[in-house]
């Protein structure tokens, strides 16, 4: 597993350099934090992409793998200083044609790297548009708690509405690392979001769900 992670990080670093050091750091951190990277990256990528599509950032036919693959292709320009991720996506969409043969012939590690880079880029695009940061640590935690696209979309919208600028507040809530005032606010959001998604959820079931998420976050 260590050898696989090392290979993926190496591939990620070479691809992500095209889109800037911040995204490169995000992507390599995600690889290090995400449990069982090969098994989980596809699920996590789909959740993030589904939410980006719901927010109108990506088209229905776009996904993390092809975004990363386009960035990897020779001739793809880097992201320019001050260029938003949505604008860079427009460039990839309009000016870079996917080389399907090269994608089909990639190694598993290269495909995982493309998924990771595409997920990092999409997370950044959501952060830019909604004003709520999706850190690599949070994205990795999504795999542990098996967060769905419906949940992520609802939490991002609610955090935005309540002036909370990072999804890390949710992981800190689950880790018991919030101040009393933040704890009350985030708990109220969790209660509102989870009961809106599942109206049959009573207070006991909500507490059980929160405890399950806490246990999942704490496990390695």
pLDDT on residue 2: 61
Report helix, strand or coil for 109: helix
Write out pLDDT tens, residues 7-17. Answer: 887 888 888 78
- Hey, how many other C-beta atoms are within 10 angstroms of the C-beta on 51? 26
d(CA 217, CA 163): 24
d(CA 61, CA 58): 8
Six-digit token string for 175: 């880790």
pLDDT per position in the chain (220 positions), as tens? 566 677 887 888 888 788 888 888 998 888 888 877 777 899 999 999 999 999 999 999 999 999 999 999 999 999 999 999 999 999 999 999 999 999 999 998 899 999 999 999 999 999 999 999 999 999 999 999 999 999 999 999 999 999 999 999 999 999 999 999 999 999 999 999 999 999 999 999 999 999 999 999 987 5
Smallest CA-to-CA distance from 30 within 18, 11, 48, 12 is with 12
d(CA 66, CA 200): 39
pTM tops 0.75 = yes
């Amino acid at each position: 597993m260590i050898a696989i992670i090392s290979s993926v990080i190496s591939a990620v670093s070479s691809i992500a350099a095209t889109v800037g050091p911040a995204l490169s750091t995000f992507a390599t951190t995600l690889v290090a934090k995400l449990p069982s990277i090969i098994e989980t990256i596809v699920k996590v990528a789909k959740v993030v992409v589904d939410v980006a599509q719901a927010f109108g950032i990506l088209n229905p036919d776009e996904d993390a793998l092809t975004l990363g693959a386009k960035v990897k292709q020779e001739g793809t320009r880097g992201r320019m200083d001050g260029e938003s991720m949505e604008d860079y996506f427009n460039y990839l969409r309009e000016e870079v044609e996917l080389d399907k043969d090269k994608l089909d012939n990639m190694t598993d590690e290269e495909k995982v790297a493309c998924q990771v880079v595409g997920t990092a880029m999409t997370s950044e695009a959501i952060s830019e548009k909604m004003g709520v940061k999706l850190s690599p640590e949070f994205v990795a935690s999504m795999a542990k708690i098996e967060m769905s696209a419906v949940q992520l979309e609802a939490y991002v919208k609610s955090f935005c509405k309540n002036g909370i600028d990072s999804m890390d507040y949710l992981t800190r809530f689950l880790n018991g690392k919030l101040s009393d005032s933040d704890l009350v606010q985030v708990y109220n959001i969790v209660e509102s979001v989870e009961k809106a998604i599942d109206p049959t959820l009573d207070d006991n079931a909500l507490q059980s769900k929160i405890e399950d998420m806490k246990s999942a976050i704490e496990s390695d």
